[in-house]
Amino acid sequence: MCETAESILQVTFTLNTVFYISINRYEFKTENYDMSFSIKAVHEKGKKTDVLKKQKYNCHMVPEDGQITLEEPGTCKHKYCIL
């Protein structure tokens, strides 16, 4: 869940990787709103690690894109919150 009462929409999706050294690209833009975005890795025993810490983006002004490299196979959870 987004940690702010002001968020109007939250989308979370899960990406399972099966290869070592996987590249995970992301890109997003909104019409009228700011957005917060984060990526967490979920390890075998359920432990979660921040891969990309939650940050606010002014993506209605400038599109955001980037990539992360995952060293090992596993699960990543992407969370998008429109503010």
* Residue 68's CATH number: 2.60.120.680
35: nearest Cα among 13, 11, 15? 11
Question: Does 1 map to a domain?
Answer: no
Cβ 61 vs Cβ 29: under 8 Å: no
Domain carrying residue 21: 9-82
Question: Does 3 map to a domain?
Answer: no
pTM value > 0.85: no
CB atoms under 10 Å from CB of 76, counted, come to: 20
Q: Is the pLDDT of residue 9 over 90?
A: no
pLDDT band at 2 (very low <50, low <70, confident <90, very high): low
Structure tokens at 50: 């921040």
Q: Is the pLDDT of residue 76 over 80?
A: yes
Q: How many distinct structural domains can be found in the chain?
A: 1
Tell me which of 40 and 4 has the higher pLDDT: 40
Instruction: Give the separation between CA 55 and CA 59, rounded to whole angstroms.
Output: 12
